[in-house]
Amino acid sequence: MASPNVHRACSDFHQTSEATRRRYLETPLTRRQVVARGLGTGLAIYAANAISLAQILESAEAEAVAAPDAPVLVSVFLPGGCDLLDTLVPLHQYGAYADLRGRLGLREAQPLGGSGLGFHPALGKGLRGGVKGLFDQGKIGFLPGIDYANPDLSHFHSRHFWDTGLVTSRRATGWLGRWLDHNGSPDNPLQGISMSSGLSPLMRSGSKPVAAVSSPNDAQFWIPGVWGEGFDRAMETYGELASRRPTPPGPAAAASAARMARTVADRLMPYRSDDNGVDPLAPPVVYPQDNELGKRLSHLAGMLSLPLGIRVASVEAAGDFDTHDNQPQDLERNLTDVSEALSAFQADLEARGLANRVLTFVWSEFGRRAQPNESRGTDHGAGGVAWVQGTRARAGVLSDYPELTKLDAQDNLAVTIDFRRVYCSLIEQWLAADAGAVIPNAAGFGRLRLVA
């Protein structure tokens, strides 16, 4: 039982957890600190003497020099199923909206240009007016009603479909991983990165290497009491153990993860914070505090500014858009985090001079039921929301808003655009590649102009 005398109030617990996590995760120990804390017995600090720094830089830069302006596609996933109606409010159908969402609905939605739609006010938060500001500056194209025919309302099925670009329950590679299989490099794992501890299913590839990286600091290896030539021998041997190519999936994953982790560490070594904690990739704009998505995007922007050959990246928002209960509070908090993080990211890219080669695609696995439930929330539904963002995104509202008076047989919003149409369009118009090689039956989905 959670009575206060048994359990020192919940907020304390969460504060402790956050503080502890932050202490450990945001200031990873440098080798010098490790020694100071008595973990190691060595005194010297390893300085990349065997693997020549110049060599590492050369190989990474070779790819970047070959294609210095190669476009980058960033996927931002809002987990849980983001509600369309309260995020992008149908002011042009306000009567029907109020009838449906009366108890839940927003009365202070901010009108969105001449589109007939309104914004959840939380989307106005952040640098230069947040996501709303970006829309007003012509840097966002919204895709209301996005989904697929006969939507499956399971988180896992729907997410799997969006991850793979295939409406099937078969195991499959991610659609970005598959794009890399056809267009990527055979030896640069950083070409496709997940800003997370595990690899995003979007990025899972068949043959080309990809990486999960949280920041250049977190990519390094060390062993207490081992330095200099000793450490070089250790890492060579680790590489040799990983150089075998076993066929069963478990052993293959162990060998390839170890091999690629070493490559990533080598490539990011020059960019880690120095032993005084000075971060060479510190952002030129102020990101929101205590915002996990913002932190991930800030590390990503820093890495995009380097010649690492990044082509596709995947970031997951920390919030939970599965608002079965208390949607008004939870959606507001989550959209605030998203708006503050995405507007800082865009400003960061612009300040670093990268904005013209980065396009961000924001999506969620489905929408929510038009009619709310009794817990001040909404159940899983169809017809969600997504958007493209960037200086070269086509601006405006790019798909039809579902009609609230024409719900389907399950009382769900109609689907007005298939997500695979958007994938095909992104592949052709932004990544300049053949969509048919990545998305089966690509020709059947049509195209929508997403790039200005």
Taking the least distance from each CB to other proteins, the nearer of 80 and 141 is 80
What x-and-dash track marks residues 11-30 binding other proteins by CB under 8 A?
--x--xx--xx--xx-----
Phi-psi region of 174 (alpha: psi -120 to 50; beta: other; left: phi over 0): beta
Q: Pick one of 129, 224, 270, 307: the residue that binds other proteins (CB under 8 A).
A: 224
Question: How crowded is residue 213: how many other Cβ atoms within 10 Å of its Cβ?
Answer: 25
Q: Pick one of 377, 383, 384, 390: the residue that binds other proteins (CB under 8 A).
A: 377
Taking the least distance from each CB to other proteins, the nearer of 197 and 276 is 197
Q: Name beta bridge partners: 397.
A: 142
Which range, of 119-127, 272-280, 298-306, 375-383, touches other proteins by CB under 8 A?
A: 375-383
By the 10 Å C-beta count (0-12 exposed, 13-18 middle, 19+ buried), 443 is classed as exposed
**155 three-state secondary structure:** helix
By the 10 Å C-beta count (0-12 exposed, 13-18 middle, 19+ buried), 212 is classed as buried
Q: Pick one of 2, 54, 278, 282: the residue that binds other proteins (CB under 8 A).
A: 2
Taking the least distance from each CB to other proteins, the nearer of 121 and 201 is 201
Taking the least distance from each CB to other proteins, the nearer of 4 and 353 is 4
Which range, of 59-67, 235-243, 289-297, 354-362, touches other proteins by CB under 8 A?
A: 235-243
Q: Pick one of 234, 355, 437, 452: the residue that binds other proteins (CB under 8 A).
A: 234
Give the contacts of 215 (CB within 8 A, at least 6 positions apart).
299, 302
What x-and-dash track marks residues 168-207 binding other proteins by CB under 8 A?
---------------------x----x-xxxx--------
260 makes contact with other proteins (CB under 8 A): yes
Q: Which of the residues 299 through 358 are near other proteins (CB under 8 A)?
A: 320, 324-325
Q: Pick one of 26, 58, 229, 400: the residue that binds other proteins (CB under 8 A).
A: 229
CB of 256 to other proteins, least distance (A): 8
Q: Pick one of 50, 98, 252, 432: the residue that binds other proteins (CB under 8 A).
A: 252
Taking the least distance from each CB to other proteins, the nearer of 207 and 375 is 375
Name the DSSP letter for residue 226. Answer: -
Q: Pick one of 55, 207, 237, 405: the residue that binds other proteins (CB under 8 A).
A: 237
Q: Pick one of 85, 109, 123, 261: the residue that binds other proteins (CB under 8 A).
A: 261
Dihedral sign computed on CA atoms, order 104, 319, 209, 159 = negative
155 makes contact with other proteins (CB under 8 A): yes
Closest CA to 388 of 133, 88, 83, 75: 75
**Are 193 and 72 a contacting pair, CB within 8 Å?**
no
Q: Pick one of 91, 96, 257, 433: the residue that binds other proteins (CB under 8 A).
A: 257
Residue listed under structure tokens 């149409």: 421
Which range, of 147-155, 327-335, 349-357, 441-449, touches other proteins by CB under 8 A?
A: 147-155
CA atoms within 13 A on the CB side of 354: 26
Name the DSSP letter for residue 445. Answer: G
* Spatial separation of the C-alpha atoms in residues 351 and 273, rounded to whole Å: 21
CB of 177 to other proteins, least distance (A): 12
Taking the least distance from each CB to other proteins, the nearer of 12 and 400 is 12
233 makes contact with other proteins (CB under 8 A): yes
By the 10 Å C-beta count (0-12 exposed, 13-18 middle, 19+ buried), 361 is classed as buried
CB of 147 to other proteins, least distance (A): 15
**154 three-state secondary structure:** coil
What is the helix (H) or strand (E) element at residue 418, kind and residue range? strand 417-418
CB of 353 to other proteins, least distance (A): 28
CB of 36 to other proteins, least distance (A): 13
Q: Pick one of 3, 69, 114, 353: the residue that binds other proteins (CB under 8 A).
A: 3
50 makes contact with other proteins (CB under 8 A): no
**315 three-state secondary structure:** strand
By the 10 Å C-beta count (0-12 exposed, 13-18 middle, 19+ buried), 307 is classed as middle
- Strand 367-368 to strand 396-397: parallel, antiparallel, or no bridges (unpaired)? unpaired
Number of residues that bind other proteins (CB under 8 A): 83
Q: Pick one of 76, 127, 265, 417: the residue that binds other proteins (CB under 8 A).
A: 265
Q: Which of the residues 52 through 71 are near other proteins (CB under 8 A)?
A: none
Question: How crowded is residue 126: how many other Cβ atoms within 10 Å of its Cβ?
Answer: 28
Name the DSSP letter for residue 290. Answer: T
Q: Pick one of 143, 174, 249, 383: the residue that binds other proteins (CB under 8 A).
A: 249
Helices (H), 352-440: 419-429
Q: Which of the residues 94 through 133 are near other proteins (CB under 8 A)?
A: none
410 makes contact with other proteins (CB under 8 A): yes
